Structures are given as structure tokens and as C-alpha cells.
């Protein structure tokens, strides 16, 4: 079988190879998925839950090895990778139970001789496409609810991080899971491999996490066979720090959300709006924190910031910094590109409208600070984007916390909380950030259809 190489972004060395599937392989995977669906659907939610629990146990048992694999293929610091394995297992844990709660309803009848039921049933075979930035959690956040609901899944991971997904599928089989119920298909040509899924009306659902650009293309493709669709797309998170904020807490949390995974998360703070009256204190504290970040080999336990995933990612980050500086921003800390795919953790100040960094997702370790004076001005600036995934606000005023949280046009709002994501809460965006929700009971709904049964009594 043909393969493609997987490279460690920190060193440039080859760490392995993954099968390079083509459209014929995709068609074969679809047939297996369709054949497996009736037998998987026929199992009880309790039986499915039991298998999911065994899968969770194996993921946790192999936490360190999976974490090392993930760090080697996409460069996230090893301590974060271990955290991600736990987070990934958390979705499996949650849905092992939640599948049992796919309740229906008995509806009051308008006719004495009728009984009306609304029941739930699995959508059908699912095609899942995931990104490289959370190679384990983005897999389980889709696969665990789909399996719990009774759907079969073929998952196509990103070219940069196929090995983690392959390992998760191996563990599913080791747990006793049916290899045709959850399949992973890896390829260097995602468009060609995806085509048969879009052409086949028996594949009932597309679930995608990745960029808005690719998400729009797949949304249109899915329309051809009218599939159910869930899209978790790009973000451009604003982080608002009001004059009554606890500055030390805001700095600690902006550091956590901004520099996690070298800034390569969909919910990381991309635009930091700070009230003019506290701007100098905030910037001084943040500069100290950015300077103290330990950059280096992500397999080293002490490393806090690793490389960017690839050359295109690095060039985008460098381009955003150069554009901002050319338009009047000042580099307070960092700013240098290299060595290799590393970009120095960077603090930019005097950032203003018209700079690319305020319009596009940076996906890198660059924190741009903008100053504001009026609450309404900050909220308007925060909402002035096509994206609507996550937003953050820092204040100790309860009225302001509610007012601003309600005014922000986002799917997720962190109030004095820079890390709101957790397996049992709804995660997802509005506007160009996507359609649908993952996590919690909302994540299960995405894989269930409502079936209405009206019974006329004889």
C-alpha cells in the first residue's frame, strides 16, 4: 500500500508513515460502514456504553505513549499532550453514559384513539474530518457521541497528524470494538478521498472540524446528498479586559489561552482589548510573562511553547506580525521567526483597526493588544468579525458580566475564565465559526434523528 511520511515539526525528522488511501479505499470503507450500521444500531445503549468505557480505559492506560506520538507528529508540548489525552478520554467517558439518556417523548394526543410518540434513532453512517491541532480530542469529541448514538463512523484525520487517530482506532478494536464500526482512513489527498462520501446518499452525516475556508467547501459538497452537517470552524476570539478587572488573573488566563499549543487553537485569544486606564499595568505584567515562556523541544517536560505545525503556518504568523509593524504596531516582546518552524512568543502593542492580525485568525504565538475606553466600543469591536466561536471578558462587575456576555455574538463566552471547554458543556460557534455543537447532551443530538410515530388504536 502507498504511504505518506509524517514529520516532526520540531526537528524536521521523519517519524513514520501512514497509509495513503485513494477514492477506491474510501468506497470500500463506506461499504464496510454501511454493512456494520444495522448491527451496531441493534445493540443497546448499555452495550455500546460498556464498549466505550473499555475504550476510555485503554486510552488512559496508554496516555503517555499517545501523548508522545501526538507531540512528535504536531509539536504540542508534552505536558499539554498528556492533558489532551485525558480530555479526549473525557468525551468517551461522558458519552458512554450519555448514550443511555437519548430519551424520547409521549405527546398529548388531540384524538382520544391516537397515541403520539417522538423517539430517537441514530442518523446513520457518519463521515468525520478532523484537524491536526487536537489530534486526539477532536477525534473522540466526534466519534464517542456518534458511537454512543448508534452510528458508524469513518474518520479522516489531517495529513499532519494521522498516527494518533490510527492509534485510537487500534485501541477501539483492542477494547472489543468492531473494526468496521469505527474506521480511520488516512490520505495525502483529502479532496479525492472525501468525494465518494459526498456522492453516496447512504452516508447520512458529515461532521467536520477545521478551517472556515475548507468547511464552506464541504458544506456545499454535503448538500448534494442532503446530509446532516456539523461544522466546527475557525475562530477569532476577542479577550476584553475592563477597568475593574483583576489584572493578575486576566494576565494569567490570557497567557494560558493565547500560548497553549503555540497559539494554534480555535478558541485562543486573538485580539486583546484592554481598557486605557489599566493598559500600562496589563502590558507590563504580560510582557514579563511572555518573556518567561520556555520555548524548545516539545518532548522536553519544561517546554511551554513548541514549533508551529508547518511552513505555511509559520509564514502566516510572520506575515501578521510584519503587516502590523508596517502599519504602526510595536513589538514589546519577541517578533523573531526561527529556528526552523519556531516563532518567538510575541507581544504586540499599539495594534489598531486595519491590521490583518485583527481581521484574520493568526494561529500562532502572537498576542496583539488594542486599547479601548468605552464598553460599547469594545463590544462592537469584538463583534466586528465574521467569526463567532469563543470570546472572553474580564470584570468584577456582575451587571457588566451579564450585559457583555449577552451582547457578544459568540457560541462560547468565558467570564473571568480563559479555559471554558469541558466534555460535558456545549462547544461550537455561530456565524462563520460553524453549525451545531459538540460536547454534553448537545453533542449527542447531532447524531440522532427524531422519529415521530402516530398510532391509531383499533
Which positions are catalytic? 232, 266
Q: How many residues bind ligand NAD (CB under 6 A)?
A: 29
Helix ranges restricted to H, 362-397: 375-383
Measure the CA–CA gap between 318 and 316, rounded to whole angstroms: 6
Smallest gap from residue 388 Cβ to ligand NAD (A): 10
Among 109, 119, 211, 416, binds ligand NAD (CB under 6 A): 211
Measure the CA–CA gap between 392 and 401, rounded to whole angstroms: 10
Nearer to ligand NAD, 77 or 434 (CB): 434
Smallest gap from residue 242 Cβ to ligand NAD (A): 26
First to last CA, the chain: 60
Among 135, 190, 388, 443, binds ligand NAD (CB under 6 A): 190
Nearer to ligand NAD, 122 or 210 (CB): 210
Nearer to ligand NAD, 82 or 156 (CB): 156
Residue 194 engages ligand NAD in binding (rule: CB under 6 A) = yes
Measure the CA–CA gap between 249 and 296, rounded to whole angstroms: 26
Instruction: Tell which positions 230-249 bind ligand NAD, by CB under 6 A.
Output: 232-235
Nearest one of 207, 50, 51, 44 to 125, comparing CA atoms: 207
For the window 265-284, what string marks contact with ligand NAD as x by the rule CB under 6 A?
Answer: -x------------------
The residue assigned the cell 456494520 is 36
Cell matching residue 296: 524548545
Nearest one of 383, 378, 347, 351 to 364, comparing CA atoms: 347
HEC profile of 216-230: HHHHHHHHCCCCEEE
Residue 131 engages ligand NAD in binding (rule: CB under 6 A) = yes
Q: Point out which span in 24-32, 176-184, 205-213, 332-340 binds ligand NAD (CB under 6 A).
A: 205-213
Cβ count within 10 A of residue 180: 18
Q: Nearest residue to ligand NAD, using CB?
A: 210
Residue 361 engages ligand NAD in binding (rule: CB under 6 A) = yes
Residue 75 engages ligand NAD in binding (rule: CB under 6 A) = no
Asked whether the beta carbons of 173 and 36 are under 8 A apart, the reply is no
Q: Point out which span in 204-212, 243-251, 275-283, 295-303 binds ligand NAD (CB under 6 A).
A: 204-212
Q: Point out which span in 37-45, 56-64, 76-84, 188-196 binds ligand NAD (CB under 6 A).
A: 188-196
Among 29, 58, 85, 129, binds ligand NAD (CB under 6 A): 129
Residue 220 engages ligand NAD in binding (rule: CB under 6 A) = no
Measure the CA–CA gap between 386 and 430, rounded to whole angstroms: 9
Instruction: Tell which positions 368-397 bind ligand NAD, by CB under 6 A.
Output: 389
Strands lying side by side in the sheet with 330-333 = 330-333, 346-349, 366-372, 269-275, 237-241, 390-394, 412-415
Residue 132 engages ligand NAD in binding (rule: CB under 6 A) = yes
At 42, phi and psi to the nearest 5?
Answer: -70, -20
Residues binding ligand NAD (CB under 6 A): 129-134, 138, 156-159, 190-191, 194, 209-211, 214, 217-218, 232-235, 266, 361, 389, 429, 434
Amino acid at each position: 500500500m502507498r504511504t505518506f511520511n509524517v514529520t516532526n515539526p520540531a526537528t524536521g525528522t521523519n517519524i513514520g508513515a501512514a497509509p495513503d488511501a485513494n477514492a477506491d479505499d474510501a468506497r470500500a470503507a463506506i461499504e464496510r460502514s454501511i454493512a456494520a450500521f444495522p448491527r451496531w444500531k441493534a445493540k443497546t445503549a448499555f452495550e455500546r456504553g460498556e464498549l466505550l468505557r473499555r475504550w476510555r480505559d485503554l486510552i488512559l492506560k496508554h496516555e503517555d505513549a499517545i501523548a508522545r506520538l501526538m507531540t512528535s507528529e504536531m509539536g504540542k508540548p508534552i505536558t499539554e499532550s498528556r492533558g489532551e489525552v485525558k480530555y479526549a478520554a473525557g468525551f468517551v467517558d461522558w458519552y458512554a453514559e450519555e448514550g443511555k439518556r437519548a430519551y424520547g417523548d409521549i405527546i398529548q394526543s388531540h384524538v382520544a384513539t391516537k397515541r403520539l410518540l417522538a423517539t430517537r434513532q441514530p442518523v446513520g453512517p457518519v463521515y468525520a474530518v478532523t484537524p491536526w491541532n487536537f489530534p486526539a480530542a477532536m477525534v473522540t469529541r466526534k466519534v464517542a457521541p456518534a458511537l454512543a448514538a448508534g452510528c458508524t463512523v469513518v474518520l479522516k484525520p489531517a495529513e499532519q497528524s494521522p498516527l494518533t487517530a490510527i492509534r485510537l482506532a487500534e485501541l477501539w478494536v483492542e477494547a472489543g470494538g468492531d473494526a468496521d464500526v469505527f474506521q480511520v482512513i488516512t490520505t495525502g489527498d483529502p479532496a479525492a478521498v472525501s468525494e465518494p462520501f459526498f456522492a453516496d446518499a447512504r452516508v447520512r452525516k458529515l461532521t467536520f472540524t477545521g478551517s472556515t475556508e475548507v468547511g464552506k467547501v464541504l458544506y456545499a459538497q454535503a448538500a448534494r446528498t442532503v446530509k446532516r452537517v456539523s461544522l466546527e470552524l475557525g475562530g477569532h476570539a476577542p479577550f476584553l479586559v475592563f477597568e475593574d478587572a483583576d489584572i493578575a488573573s486576566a494576565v494569567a488566563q490570557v497567557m494560558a489561552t493565547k500560548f497553549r499549543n503555540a497559539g494554534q487553537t480555535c478558541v485562543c485569544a486573538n485580539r486583546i482589548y484592554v481598557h486605557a486606564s489599566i493598559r500600562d499595568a496589563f502590558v507590563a505584567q504580560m510582557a514579563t510573562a511572555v518573556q518567561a515562556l520556555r520555548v524548545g523541544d516539545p518532548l522536553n517536560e519544561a517546554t511551554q511553547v513548541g514549533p508551529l505545525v508547518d511552513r505555511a503556518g509559520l509564514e502566516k504568523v510572520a506575515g501578521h506580525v510584519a503587516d502590523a509593524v508596517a502599519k504602526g504596531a510595536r513589538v514589546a516582546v519577541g517578533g523573531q521567526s526561527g529556528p526552523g518552524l519556531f516563532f518567538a512568543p510575541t507581544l504586540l502593542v499599539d495594534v489598531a483597526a486595519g491590521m490583518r492580525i485583527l481581521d484574520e485568525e493568526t494561529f500562532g504565538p502572537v498576542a496583539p493588544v488594542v486599547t479601548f475606553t468605552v464598553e460599547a466600543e469594545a463590544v462592537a469591536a469584538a463583534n466586528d468579525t465574521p467569526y463567532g466561536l469563543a470570546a472572553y471578558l474580564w470584570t468584577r462587575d456582575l451587571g457588566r458580566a451579564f450585559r457583555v456576555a449577552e451582547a457578544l455574538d459568540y457560541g462560547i463566552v468565558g467570564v473571568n475564565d480563559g479555559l471554558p471547554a469541558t466534555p460535558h458543556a456545549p462547544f461550537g460557534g455561530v456565524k462563520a465559526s460553524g453549525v451545531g455543537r459538540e460536547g454534553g447532551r448537545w453533542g449527542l443530538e447531532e447524531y440522532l434523528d427524531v422519529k415521530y410515530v402516530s398510532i391509531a388504536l383499533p
